[in-house]
Amino acid sequence: MRILIRLVALLTLGLAAGIVFSHVLQMSQKTLLDKFIFLDVQQILLATYGPVLGILEGIAFGSVLVTAIMERKKMGSLALLVLSAVCVGAMLVIWVFLIAPLNATVDAWTADTIPANWEQIRDRWAMLQTVRFGLAVIAFGTYILVVLGEREAASERI
């Protein structure tokens, strides 16, 4: 069971970090789009990102917490796992309270109702995704450190 939980955590953390990284990679190109193409990209191409990422991050958060509970007696591992969980939790909070409302706003636009400040909204969304990417890298990296640290410790005991 322990290996399965770690596998789930590694997969979901890695997938979440990769998806958020894709947002970061798209940012400079999105600044080249006119408002109508930007609207199409946000409403059509990115429509499934939020629900899928929400599920992945929720599973990642839960599996990191379960790992932390299993490792609670190992203070070094526990500290890294708590940091990983806090980062995933912060990613979820940013998405729920800041990005999802922006997405809902953009989803309500039509070609005739795009506001004059649409670029500010695009840039805020991009900045929030950059913050989430930083958190994702920390969450994934610290979890990997725990797994690698335990493998090293196990090999030294042999």
**Which residue in the block uniquely carries the two structure tokens 């995933």?**
88
Domain count, the chain: 1
Distance CA 121, CA 127 (A): 10
By residue range, what is the domain housing residue 141?
2-157
pLDDT by residue (tens digit) across 37-76?
A: 999 999 999 999 999 999 999 999 999 999 999 999 998 8
Q: Which residues contact 22 (CB under 8 A, 6 or more apart)?
A: none
- pLDDT on residue 155: 62
The one-letter amino acid code at 28 reads S
pLDDT by residue (tens digit) across 101-120?
A: 999 999 999 999 999 999 99
* The two structure tokens encoding residue 152: 């090293």
Contact 115, 50 (CB under 8 A): no
